[in-house]
Amino acid sequence: MKHEFVCTVCPNSCELKAGEHDGVLSVTGNKCKRGIEFAMLEVYDPQRILTTTVKLTTGGLLPVRSQGTVKKRELWTIIRQLKSIAVELPVEIGDVVANVTAGTPVCIVAADTAHSASEPISGSAPDVKKNLK
Ligand code: SF4
């Protein structure tokens, strides 16, 4: 099976092609070794930063993200767990708002600051589906 993707390790954005033959992954298009490591991870164990929203106890939504990457196949498991929580105000950007488990523990942090129910949260809700591509 052939895979084509862009290496996101550095701004060079090399267009990588990866193919497996006899159990060995060959990678082309990379300008450095880090591209090979990226391709191996992307083919065998893809990971993403999860961005989504959680409910606030006062109503409304708080943008959140995972602290670090999580396995792509675990994203929906985490999102389902986050549907059952509601975060109390005030919240500062970077505060841990939940610890969930999806194979491994995942720390979810606030991606914005919210002090009161009447204070608008800046930014827009992240596109969850974009994470899953
Ligand atoms: S392959 Fe190397 S040079 Fe190219 S984007 Fe990845 S890290 Fe950067």
56/90 same-domain check? yes
Q: What is the pLDDT of residue 120?
A: 57
Query: Does the model's pTM come out above 0.95?
Result: no
Which H or E element spans position 131?
Answer: helix 128-131
**What tokens were used for 29?**
């298009």
Question: How remote is the CA of residue 40 from the centroid of ligand 1, in Å?
Answer: 13
Q: What is the full DSSP assignment across 8-47?
A: -SSTT--EEEEEEETTEEEEES-SSHHHHHHHHHHHHS-E
* Same-domain pairing of 95 and 122: yes
Q: Beta strand pairing status for 61-66 and 24-28? A: unpaired
Residue 13 Cβ < 6 Å to ligand 1:
yes
Q: What is the pLDDT of residue 129?
A: 57
Structural domain tally of the chain? 2
Shared domain for 27 and 77, answered yes or no, is no
How do the pLDDT tens digits run along the chain, 133 residues long? 899 999 999 999 999 999 999 989 999 999 999 999 999 999 999 999 999 999 999 999 999 999 999 999 999 999 999 999 999 999 999 999 999 988 889 999 999 998 887 765 655 455 555 555 5
Residues 57, 81 within the same domain: yes
* 59 and 96 within one domain: yes
Cα 69 to averaged position of ligand 1 atoms, centre (Å): 19
